[in-house]
Amino acid sequence: MRKLLLLQAALFGCLLFAQAQPYQPTRGEILERYHKARFLDSIATRSIFKTSVKPHWAADYNSFWYRNILKDSVKEYILVDAVHGTRQRLAGIPADTVTRRTGFDRLGDRRWANFSNDSLSPDKQWVAYVRNGNVYVRAAGDGSAFAFTTDGDTAKPYGHLAWSPDSKYIVGYHINPIKDSAVYYVLSSVAGTTRGQLRQRPYKQPGDPFTTFEMFVFRLDGRQKLAVSTPVVDFFGAPELHWRWHDSRYFTFERVERGHQRFRVIEVDAQTGQTRNILDETTNTFIYEQRLFTHYLPETGEMLMTSEKDGWRHLYLVDLATGHQKNEITKGNWIVRDIDSVDAKKREIWFTASGMNASEDPYYIHYYHIGFDGQHLVDLTPVRANHIVTFSPDRRYYLDAYSEINVPTVTELHRTSDGKKIVEVERADDSLYLAAGLRLPEPFHAKGRDGVTDIWGVIVRPADFDPNKKYPVIENIYAGPQDAFVPKDFTGRYGEMQSIAQLGFIVVQIDGMGTANRSKAFHDVCWKNLADAGFPDRILWIKALAVKYPYVDTTRVGLYGTSAGGQNSLGGLLFHSDFYKAAVSSCGCHDNRIDKQWWNEQWMGYPVGKHYDEQSNVTNAWKLRGDLLLMVGEADNNVPPESTYRVADALIKAGKTFEFLPLPGFDHTDGGPYGRIERRDFFVRHLLGVEPPHRNTNEL
């Protein structure tokens, strides 16, 4: 019976596919769509309510109030009693409430320190300072001074001085400063001028040198200067120092090697200058430095850290005396997303994670705490959804706001000690939104290039789409490896994607392989391979979508994006023109040699090799097929504007036809309001084959 039903469903799908006709509006119909889209845009932002609760806690942390903004901007105020689990409407705003936070502090992770070149020792007996590039120390009382160095000068000074806790040692560096080369742009339309205004700023590109730091220890006993037996620090800045918990003779520092393939925790003996590696982690691809979490526990001589060495981002406990792993705190085919706080006394760590629940979207975030020994894992947010948690200032309570992109937000108050639900605080109201004819996005997943891994995304439809028509597809693309980008929360404000869809398109957004927040193998696809951009997964995803929904027209597919998405959108036409037919590329980092060092070397590696050239949109511009609109802000402070201009130059030299929109005075942008109009018109013209409104004749 089940096989018969499946066969019938397949036949029905084939019948629909055979009957579906390409959506091809007349010009009158498209003008009407523009008018309706404008109307729906205007109501979409004011027809969903109660999606978030911002608590204002009372001084005793036993209650809080919050405000809802309802239809017609009516405001209501609600008081929640956390002790008794009650809520009531208020006549107005209550008296002042606390905004400070107590209890655990949210953890920061600082790897490179801000040092002072003029500092008082911890015992307040000495002052260390730099004069004319050399290190001096004087007694705090009488002012008599002596020099530790004589070979420094203003061109290559000593500096970044740091005292040991017992005031016996100073750590400092002989610095070889590097002045970054400049990038330039011209402001063409500055009011009150008749000439373009040249601007410049320092900008480090892949392969550019760094300021270097040679580490020394200055011993007050004997007034000795000791060179630390470690290579010169030639990547990032002078490191944060962590002195040993019971003996100030020793300290550790962290070192990420250029190329992002080696991370070390190095111990220094301040009495001798000798070093040893406490931890030495290497990889054949990359270590994601910005998500490398370390937290030192000086009282116990331990360190908490994250690592992807088992293929997933997990937490580990390390013995700093030996460098040995004491415990893998978390494990499994899921990842730790962020660390909220550490309770050293209870030996607990509070964190967020995703992918632990096999039955749900692997990007959904849940909140947990666990013992340092890997025992007693507690899920504070068990509901199947994406969660956002905010704790009361004393952390006795927490608000759990959970939702899916097509399931309205529910906000609940819970007790932190046992996770018990106290009261449902609020439930989002989308009734007006749906009554207006607007549609919520739909999550969708399909197998990726390996035939095993699920690729997740969302689909946005026109409010009045006809399932018997076949609609062009537009992908909103951003394949930057630093994160994942498909929205997971319910907001009701789906902005540009919804606005474009109203004109007669199916708009999608996808996280392909090479983006973050999945396994290490999933992420590694980007390594020295940014041109891949997950396209094999994205194309399969859209094709699978068309199998499920025959009104998805895979013969008319476009894409748009900004920054890395600008690089990706043009890349779709250069490397996958058999599938993508039109693209709008805004402020793209089209050549990874031109863009910022810290981002590109993280993913494309160091040194700069031929793969940078081979994957460049500039190098491959001659391959262009399909329709292209390039946009760039002339004052882009993120990606140098010449990245786009060099693509334009290469396209011109290759005899290619394309559209180009420079934006006077604009910074790094998707085009702003005017650029978004041009983007919509471009897709209407090239994917629907209809002339958009003639705005100079007030057609719209």
| Residue range 382-421, pLDDT digits in tens | 999 999 999 999 999 999 999 999 999 999 999 999 999 9
Of residues 459, 460, 410, the one with CA closest to residue 438:
460
User: Rounded to the nearest 5 degrees, what angle is found at the Cα of 559, between the Cα atoms of 554 and 565?
Assistant: 145
Q: Are 48 and 432 in contact (CB under 8 A)?
A: yes
Domain ranges in the chain are 113-286, 447-692
Record the tokens describing residue 419, joined without a space.
Answer: 């996770």
What pLDDT is attached to residue 550? 97
Number of neighbours of residue 435 by Cβ within 10 angstroms: 10
Average the pLDDT over 262-281 and give the result.
97
Q: For residue 231, is the peptide bond before it cis, meaning its omega torsion is within 30 degrees of 0? A: no
Q: Which residues of 566-599 are buried (b: 16+ CB within 10 A; e: fewer)?
A: bbbbbbbbbbbeebbbbbbbbbbbbbbbbbbbeb
Record the tokens describing residue 156, joined without a space.
Answer: 């290559």
Of residues 527, 601, 615, the one with CA closest to residue 285:
527
Instruction: Lay out the sheet containing 314-319: strands in order across.
Output: 294-297, 302-307, 314-319, 325-328
Q: How far apart are CA 633 and CA 32, in angstroms?
A: 31
Helices (H), 252-371: none
Average the pLDDT over 504-523 and give the result.
98
Q: How far apart are CA 549 and CA 543, in angstroms?
A: 10
Q: Are 326 and 319 in contact (CB under 8 A)?
A: yes
Q: How far apart are CA 251 and CA 257, in angstroms?
A: 19
Average the pLDDT over 166-179 and give the result.
96
pLDDT digits (tens, 9 = 90+) for 551-566: 999 999 999 999 999 9
Share above pLDDT 90 across residues of the chain, in percent, rounded to a whole number: 88
DSSP 284-306: SS---GGG--EEEETTTTEEEEE
Whether the predicted pLDDT of 648 surpasses 50: yes
Record the tokens describing residue 332, joined without a space.
Answer: 């499994």
Band (pLDDT 50/70/90 cuts) for residue 101 is very low
Q: How far apart are CA 492 and CA 48, in angstroms?
A: 6
What pLDDT is attached to residue 8? 47
DSSP 567-622: HHHHHHHHH-TTT--EEEEES---STTTS-HHHHHHHH-SS--HHHHHT-TTTTGG
For residues 462, 464, 466, 472, the Cα torsion angle rounded to the nearest 10 degrees is: -20
DSSP 8-state symbol, 695: G
Whether the predicted pLDDT of 98 surpasses 80: no
Record the tokens describing residue 172, joined without a space.
Answer: 């400092």
What pLDDT is attached to residue 493? 63
**Antiparallel, parallel or unpaired: β 335-343 and 348-354:** antiparallel
Q: Are 321 and 267 in contact (CB under 8 A)?
A: no
Whether the predicted pLDDT of 44 surpasses 90: no
Average the pLDDT over 3-27 and give the result.
62
What amino acid is encoded at 42 in this protein?
S
Q: How far apart are CA 47 and CA 53, in angstroms?
A: 17
Whether the predicted pLDDT of 99 surpasses 90: no
What pLDDT is attached to residue 119? 85
Band (pLDDT 50/70/90 cuts) for residue 114 is low
Average the pLDDT over 71-79 and give the result.
95
Whether the predicted pLDDT of 64 surpasses 90: yes
Of residues 522, 490, 488, 486, the one with CA closest to residue 507:
486
DSSP 8-state symbol, 260: S
Q: How far apart are CA 287 and CA 480, in angstroms?
A: 16
Of residues 52, 81, 76, 51, the one with CA closest to residue 64:
81
User: In a 3-state reduction of DSSP, which class is residue 152?
Assistant: coil
Of residues 663, 527, 699, the one with CA closest to residue 602:
527
Which range is least confidently modeled, 220-224, 304-308, 530-534, 622-626?
A: 220-224
Band (pLDDT 50/70/90 cuts) for residue 18 is low
Band (pLDDT 50/70/90 cuts) for residue 617 is very high
CA pseudo-torsion sign 47, 50, 54, 56: positive
Whether the predicted pLDDT of 434 surpasses 50: yes
Average the pLDDT over 541-557 and give the result.
98
Q: How far apart are CA 395 and CA 401, in angstroms?
A: 16
Which range is least confidently modeled, 119-123, 260-264, 450-454, 596-600?
A: 119-123
Place of tokens 């899916």: 404
Whether the predicted pLDDT of 281 surpasses 80: yes
Average the pLDDT over 199-225 and give the result.
97
Average the pLDDT over 121-136 and give the result.
95
User: In a 3-state reduction of DSSP, which class is residue 437?
Assistant: coil
Whether the predicted pLDDT of 287 surpasses 90: yes
Element (H, E) at 567: helix 564-575
Average the pLDDT over 524-530 and give the result.
98
Q: How far apart are CA 647 and CA 586, in angstroms?
A: 12
DSSP 8-state symbol, 232: -
Record the tokens describing residue 629, joined without a space.
Answer: 């609109």
Band (pLDDT 50/70/90 cuts) for residue 316 is very high
What amino acid is encoded at 376 in this protein?
H
Record the tokens describing residue 497, joined without a space.
Answer: 């994607």
* CA distances from residue 193 to 189, 200, 458, 570 in whole angstroms, order as listed: 8, 18, 47, 35
51 versus 42: the higher-pLDDT residue is 51
Q: What CATH architecture is 447-692?
A: 3-Layer(aba) Sandwich (3.40)
What pLDDT is attached to residue 6? 41
Q: Are 641 and 185 in contact (CB under 8 A)?
A: yes
pLDDT digits (tens, 9 = 90+) for 453-512: 999 999 999 999 999 999 999 999 999 999 999 999 998 666 899 999 999 999 999 999
CATH superfamily entry for domain 113-286: Dipeptidylpeptidase IV, N-terminal domain (2.140.10.30)
Q: Are 55 and 66 in contact (CB under 8 A)?
A: yes
pLDDT digits (tens, 9 = 90+) for 231-244: 999 999 999 999 98
User: In a 3-state reduction of DSSP, which class is residue 331?
Assistant: coil
What pLDDT is attached to residue 144? 85
Q: How far apart are CA 161 and CA 213, in angstroms?
A: 12
Whether the predicted pLDDT of 5 surpasses 50: no
Average the pLDDT over 247-264 and give the result.
96
Q: How far apart are CA 511 and CA 445, in angstroms?
A: 10
User: In a 3-state reduction of DSSP, which class is residue 622?
Assistant: helix
Residues 6+ apart with CB under 8 A from 314: 306, 307, 308, 328, 329, 330, 331, 332, 335, 336
Whether the predicted pLDDT of 427 surpasses 60: yes
Which range is least confidently modeled, 142-151, 152-161, 553-562?
A: 142-151
Average pLDDT, the chain: 93
Average the pLDDT over 284-306 and give the result.
96
What pLDDT is attached to residue 97? 58
pLDDT digits (tens, 9 = 90+) for 323-374: 999 999 999 999 999 999 999 999 999 999 999 999 899 999 999 999 999 9
Whether the predicted pLDDT of 102 surpasses 90: no
User: In a 3-state reduction of DSSP, which class is residue 136?
Assistant: strand
What pLDDT is attached to residue 146? 93
What pLDDT is attached to residue 3? 47
Greatest Cα-to-Cα distance within the chain, rounded to the nearest angstrom: 97
